[in-house]
A and B are shown apart, each in its own frame.
Chain A
Amino acid sequence: MDALDVSRWQFGITTVYHFIFVPLTIGLAPLIAVMQTVWHVTGNAAWYRLTRFFGKLFLINFAIGVATGIVQEFQFGMNWSEYSKFVGDIFGAPLAFEGLIAFFFESTFIGLWIFGWNRLPRALHLVCIWIVAFGVNASAFFIIAANSFMQHPVGAKFNPETGRAELTDFVALLTNNTAIWAFLHAVTGAFLTAGAFVAGVSAWLMVRSKRTTGPADSITMYRPAAMLGSVVALVAAGGLFFTGDIQGKLMFVQQPMKMASAESLCHTETDPMFSVLTVGTHNNCDSVTHLIEVPYVLPFLAESRFDGVTLQGVQDLQEQYQDKFGPGDYRPNLFVTYWAFRAMIGLLAVPVLFALVTLWLTRRGRIPDQRWYGRFGILTIPAPFLANSAGWVFTEMGRQPWVVVPNPTGDQMVRMTVQDGVSGHSAGLVLFSLATFTLLYGALAVVWFWLMRRYVVEGPQDHDSEPAPPTPPSSDDVAPLSFAY
């Protein structure tokens, strides 16, 4: 392997690690804010206990989300210095905005939320978690706007004197249609993740509680939480279909190679069939055999019509690109894009089914106690995580070999292949950091999983009964602490 391959593996591994934890943070922060708001408004102690319980899980997750995110901020310069020089004028701005607007907010106010339970007035303490929820979502917007520039560069032109891309329109960069729909898609995905997490955990605890200690906690806490999570998951699933459909339509126009590759569509066809199952080595158009195909789907995905749509195939696009950008292989890995796309969509069925089952089993005050239902809840939780990863793998590997995909209607010189973007390191140096991060993150992910499992199994704790009203700082100069690391 050369430094390019190792650098790509490193960026992929570290980003996928980061995005295991990120969606749960993005989706769970608003959900916890909602739980705390319900407690604040109604005074119902069950919602306080839920806030504390999911708050602990949130913080265990938040820590590793921050830890895996730190690397990303520096990795562009470390491994992709030529890319960083080429687009820094444009790409750096949303990153800096993310720091100024989102990271400062979330990091400061999460500290106030953790330590402020008995220190801040309750309304102010509630505002803190809402600001955290705003911060994590704002951060998603800016980083996705930066990523969307790589997928569909707008608001930029190439300066031949410096050989660098330059920002011409910051508003265009932030209102990039790719950015807006990718942001909405990622955020609804995060809400699905958190909704399924809350519903799955609550369902399991509801069954366990009813079977062991009696239904009291199931009635007051777990049933409402499972229903809240299920409704959030269902609404998010609808949002994912809608935003995903629009994103797909944009991609057919802006990144036709990515969509052709996702469909294993090798040759330009009119009204091609949507392929559900193919066999073959998949990275080679000649060996792909389509086994199951469905008509009408693909034309609808592309242009909201059922026929009369001509879509370009991988081989034809490859020839066009060679004419336009010179010799080279412009095809992504067909196997990965094909299956990642299908995994992302297919995994949606699991949380949707579980949410429907939950709403059915809890109808009119019922408390389910079927063992299979509790297990179904736990088994549902990983599905959205896997779908998130599959979606990002599809998005990112579908734009290969580009790191900045040429915009068909933009400045054609604002483009860069990953080959030209990588730093000039030796493969050994990058392999060393790849091994370091992979092992370190792997170990931390194991600890994270163990901690999350441990805290879920333990369930809400006795010492998290409703708090005393906040005490103003006492006149003597020592602070009583409600929480200490």
Chain B
Amino acid sequence: MGLQELWFFLIAALFLGFLLLEGFDFGVGMLMIPFGIAGKGEPEQRERRRRAALNTIGPVWDANEVWLITAGAAMFAAFPVWYATVFSSLYLPLLAILVGMILRIVGIEWRGKIDDPRWRRWADIGIAAGSWLPAILWGVAFAVLVQGLPIDADGRSQATLTDVVSVYTLLGGLATASLFAFYGAVFVALKTSGPVREDAFRFARILSAPVVVLAGGFGLWTQFAHGKTWTWVPLAVAVLALLRAVALMWRGDGEGRAFVATMVVVAAVAVLLFGSMYPNLLPSTLNPDWGVTIYNGSSTPYTLKIMSWASLTLLPLVIGYQAWTYWVFRKRITAEAIPASIGLPRHQP
């Protein structure tokens, strides 16, 4: 295998890490407000449930997000032409993703700093925006990468809004959003006990029909329009695993197996998308010869070799200590185990 092929796989792996780990982070963020609303009872109890949901990702969400940062940097290092063309073409979606991520970061970190309902409402809106926007727009972005853009003979994109926003790409966005929301519900079911867990099961059941239709429809469309013969395999795996996860969530237990099944779905969808792309990175819709491929978009063998040494030694270490973090915080949490707010009052007493 050549270095260019290796780097296509490594970047796909980095994005896979991002989707597997941030997928449920986005889902938790998307469902956080519903978790607060769903519980009956006093505002105090609802606030505890919301915090219980948020704290399932508390110690890990920041590190999960770094997979995206590193994937972006790896694109820059290994396929600079791809990096430059994609990010300058998908300007507005990326801007919206960045705004969302900024709001989510400060929303999560600053939420508990001030003990005031209005303060927390703004933080929750930031977390919701920062989860919904990327969950939808990364789906749109990946659909655009598979479908291609009008790249001219000079390698510059002439994309207009209709190239980015089409029925196919919007379906991609809705598919990832519904999949991540479902994934988040399954994750919360796995990480909590008591009423929050029951709510998580309920959300997963409500989401099961939309996720099967949207993700299934997007998978089939991708396969028929852009797939290769072998990508039927990941598509079939994705569909079977999704049905399995949905069935487990309807049964009301086995959330551990449902979580693994949903991970398989996310991974299989990523394999389907990157497999449909390969060896293109960004096909040109004007002329098949004008697109960015792993052969005309890559860095030099010297750079790729250094980057290979670095990532093949460091990534296992990263995976190791991140897995250990999950192990440290492996216990379930409940709304009752959430400590009382230690935020300051809004005004000096």
Contacts and interface: CB of A to CB of B under 8 A. Distances in A.
A276 interface: no
Contacts of A107: 62-63, 65-66
A70 B66 CA distance: 9
A429 B88 CA distance: 11
A372 interface: no
A423 B83 CA distance: 12
Interface residues of A, number: 80
B69 A78 contact: no
A111 B63 contact: yes
Interface stretch (B212-220, B239-247, B321-329): B321-329
A477 interface: yes
A92 B76 contact: yes
A474 B86 CA distance: 49
User: Main SS of the interface on chain A?
Assistant: helix
B80 A66 contact: no
Interface string A174-213: 0000000000000000000000000000000000000000
Interface stretch (B33-41, B282-290, B304-312): B304-312
A71 B109 CA distance: 18
B209 interface: no
Contact of B60 (A111, A166, A423, A479): A111
B288 to A, nearest CB: 21
Contact of B105 (A63, A436, A458): A63
Nearest to B347: A454
Range class of the B interface residue count? 35 or more
Contact of A63 (B66, B74, B106, B114): B106
Contacts of B113: 60, 451, 455
Contacts of B102: 67-68, 70-71, 440, 444
A170 B54 CA distance: 42
A77 interface: yes
Interface of B: 51-52, 54-55, 58-63, 65-66, 69-70, 72-81, 83-88, 91-92, 94-95, 98-99, 101-103, 105-106, 108-114, 156, 193, 299-300, 302-303, 306-307, 310-311, 314-315, 318, 321-322, 325, 328-334, 337-339, 342, 344, 348
B311 A100 contact: yes
B70 A103 contact: yes
B95 A436 contact: yes
Contacts of A432: 95
A63 B110 contact: yes
Among A64, A92, A116, max chain B CB count under 10 A is at: A92
A84 B60 contact: no
Contacts of B74: 92, 96, 99
A447 B111 CA distance: 12
Given A67-B102, A425-B91, A92 B59 contact: no
A425 B156 CA distance: 11
Given A100-B310, A425-B88, A108 B73 contact: no
B333 A479 contact: yes
B70 A99 contact: yes
A436 B91 CA distance: 13
Interface string A414-436: 00000000011100010011001
A62 B156 CA distance: 37
5 contacts: A76-B87, A108-B62, A119-B328, A451-B110, A483-B339
Among A62, A101, A454, max chain B CB count under 10 A is at: A454
User: Main SS of the interface on chain B?
Assistant: helix
Interface in A438-485: 440, 444, 447, 451, 454-455, 457-458, 461, 463, 473-474, 477-485
A289 B194 CA distance: 77
A461 B99 CA distance: 34
Among A88, A97, A474, max chain B CB count under 10 A is at: A88
A111 B63 CA distance: 8
A88 B7 CA distance: 15
Interface in A88-120: 88-93, 95-101, 103-104, 107-112, 114-116, 119-120
A27 to B, nearest CB: 19
B59 A95 contact: no
A229 to B, nearest CB: 23
A59 interface: yes
A88 B332 contact: no
A415 B33 CA distance: 51
Interface in A56-86: 59-60, 62-64, 66-68, 70-71, 73-74, 76-79, 81-82, 84-85
A226 B330 CA distance: 40
Which 7 pairs across A and B sit closest by C-beta, in order of nearness?
A88-B80, A77-B87, A92-B77, A479-B331, A99-B70, A63-B109, A92-B76
